[in-house]
Amino acid sequence: MIGGMAARAEPEKEPKLIVKPEAFKTLVNPPCSHCRDEAKRRAKDLRDDDRVLCWIRGKYDGGAIPFRFFLNPYRVISDTYGVYAYDPDAGYARGYAPSLDFTFHGWRNGVMVMKHKDGTLYSCLTGIAFAGPNKGRRLEVMPTLTTDWGYWLKHYPGTVAYHMFDKYQSVELSTKVDADSQKSRLPMDERLPADTPVLGVFDGKRARAYPLDQLAKEGVIRDTANQDVRVILWHSPTRTAAAYLPIAIAPEGKGGKPRGITLQLDPKNAAAPFVDEETNSRWDIAGRAVKGELKGWTFTWLDSVQVKWFAWAAEYPETSIYGK
- Residue 73: phi and psi, rounded to 5, are -80, -30
CB 138 within 8 A of CB 55: no
Three-class DSSP category at 105: strand
How crowded is residue 57: how many other Cβ atoms within 10 Å of its Cβ? 15
- DSSP three-state, residue 51: strand
Q: What is the pTM of this model?
A: 0.94
Q: Identity (one letter) of the amino acid at 127?
A: G
2-27: b or e for each residue (b if 16 or more CB lie within 10 Å)? Answer: eeeeeeeeeeeeebeebeeeebbebb
The DSSP bridge partners found for residue 254 are none
Q: pLDDT 10s per residue in the chain (324 long)? A: 344 444 444 444 678 999 999 999 999 999 999 999 999 999 999 999 999 999 999 989 999 999 999 999 999 999 999 999 999 999 999 999 999 999 999 999 999 999 999 999 999 999 999 999 999 999 999 999 999 999 999 999 999 999 999 999 999 998 999 999 999 998 989 999 999 999 999 999 999 999 999 999 999 999 998 788 999 999 999 999 999 999 999 998 778 899 999 999 999 999 999 999 999 999 999 999 999 999 999 999 999 999 999 999 999 999 999 998
Q: For residues 306 and 94, what is the distance between their CA atoms, to the nearest angstrom?
A: 9
* Element holding 301 (H helix, E strand): strand 298-301
Spatial CA neighbour of 155 closest among 64, 233, 242: 64
